């Protein structure tokens, strides 16, 4: 489906991204999967190409570009070659961590950390999830207690994207019985350690880890935002994170459909292309319709974000619909590949595995539906 979302500048940027992918990504994808880790050189090369820190003001070395369509171009080009794991790491920096620093950091904090996010020298993470606390942040037990000019942090986090390589981690900690606060914890801070590199179903190249905090002393100047306001800070920025997942899901669905359409046109059975069989043709018709409907909503959501009008409810709709659609399309496209779809040398197999987490992180499908249903039940009657 043709989309009118992009303009000439976005397509020129797309060419830059494609050059980066050919040179810095494709030669390394299989090794990254085996190592469960992406080379830091990939981050540094992306920084040199101007692919990181797009929204960072020029004062700190960024492009000062607030147009989210450039981020969407990156998502499309990465998943198109099966590099969803790399995109996951980049997206964590760009769509999750960076907005916190841009909106909440002090001038000193920005001066210290924003330049590294644009060059790729600083890899960031956010540590919310704990062994006993996932979607419900009220279950967070990691604590921070004020001691002179420091805060002393104790606790454990899990399922942390970029957990192994991160140089800077936004940690959500409980500062009293009711309130949560955000802290910036740096690599090599005494008492801050990383656990095992977690084995996942998909996104194998993207490092995910456990983090431990044992009497970690965090300087008071590393408190991010307002003390006790972490929950509000988190809620305010979730729409962008969820749209990021939706954009990725949409791009992945479209890529899988392209691969599958090409495959069934070339593959023959009983003397003809399997695309000519009615059951296959009808399946492709269904999948194309689903992706085009998804594309229309995602494009609308991207425009709303650019205009500062994307609501938490509409972001939740985009996230749950597209991520569930991505998984449906992954399963059906793999089926159309037959035995080849089960082979990891085919991109559909990797995409099938990578898709599964999309309905879980950033808020599960069930949580998205709860957000939407509360808006319906609590809203005015039509």
8 Å CB contact between 30 and 43 = no
**Catalytic residue list contains 266:** no
Question: What is the distance between the alpha carbons of residues 226 and 232, in angstroms, rounded to a whole number?
Answer: 10
274: which DSSP letter? G
What CA–CA distance (Å, rounded) separates 293 from 245? 17
SS3 146: strand
Q: β-strand 168-174 against 208-219: which pairing, if any? A: unpaired
Q: How many residues does the chain have?
A: 382
Please name which of 56, 136, 131, 129 lies closest in space to residue 97, comparing C-alpha atoms: 56
Both tokens assigned to 73: 């171009």
The b-or-e profile of 351-368 (16+ CB within 10 A means b, else e) is bbbbbbbbbebbbbbebb
- Residue 223 CA to residue 152 CA, distance in Å, equals 12
Catalytic residue among 76, 77, 130, 241: 241
User: Alpha-carbon torsion 359, 208, 238, 88, what sign?
Assistant: negative
Burial tier of 325 (Cβ tally within 10 Å: 0-12, 13-18, 19+): buried
Backbone angles phi, psi at 179, to 5 degrees: -110, 150
Provide the annotated active-site residues: 241
């Amino acid at each position: 489906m043709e989309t009118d979302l992009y303009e000439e500048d976005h397509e020129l940027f797309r060419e830059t991204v494609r050059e980066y992918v050919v040179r810095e990504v494709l030669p390394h994808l299989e090794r990254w999967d085996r190592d469960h880790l992406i080379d830091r050189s990939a981050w540094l090369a992306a920084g040199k190409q101007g692919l990181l820190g797009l929204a960072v003001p020029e004062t700190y070395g960024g492009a000062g570009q607030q147009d989210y369509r450039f981020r969407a171009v990156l998502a499309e080009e990465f998943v198109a070659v099966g590099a969803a794991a790399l995109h996951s790491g980049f997206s964590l920096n760009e769509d999750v961590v960076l907005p916190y620093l841009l909106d909440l950091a002090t001038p000193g904090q920005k001066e210290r950390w924003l330049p590294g996010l644009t060059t790729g020298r600083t890899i960031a993470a956010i540590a919310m999830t704990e062994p006993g606390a996932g979607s419900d942040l009220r279950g967070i037990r990691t604590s921070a207690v004020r001691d002179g000019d420091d805060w002393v942090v104790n606790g454990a986090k899990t399922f942390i994207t970029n957990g192994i390589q991160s140089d800077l981690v936004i940690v959500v900690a409980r500062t009293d019985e009711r309130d949560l606060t955000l802290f910036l914890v740096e690599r090599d801070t005494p008492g801050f350690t990383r656990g095992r590199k977690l084995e996942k179903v998909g996104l194998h190249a993207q490092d995910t880890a456990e983090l431990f905090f044992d009497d970690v002393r965090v300087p008071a100047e590393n408190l991010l935002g307002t003390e006790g306001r972490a929950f509000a800070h988190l809620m305010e920025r979730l729409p962008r994170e969820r749209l990021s997942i939706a954009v990725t899901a949409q791009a992945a669905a479209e890529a899988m459909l392209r691969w599958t359409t090409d495959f069934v046109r070339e593959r023959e059975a009983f003397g003809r292309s399997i695309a000519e069989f009615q059951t296959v043709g009808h399946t492709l018709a269904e999948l194309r319709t689903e992706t085009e409907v998804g594309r229309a909503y995602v494009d609308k959501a991207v425009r709303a974000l650019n205009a500062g009008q994307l609501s938490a409810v509409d972001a939740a709709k985009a996230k749950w619909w597209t991520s569930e659609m991505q998984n449906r399309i992954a399963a059906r496209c793999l089926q159309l590949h037959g035995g080849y779809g089960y082979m990891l040398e085919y991109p559909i197999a990797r995409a099938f595995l990578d898709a599964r987490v999309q309905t879980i992180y950033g808020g599960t499908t069930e949580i998205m539906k709860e957000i939407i249903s509360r808006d319906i039940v609590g809203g005015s009657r039509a």
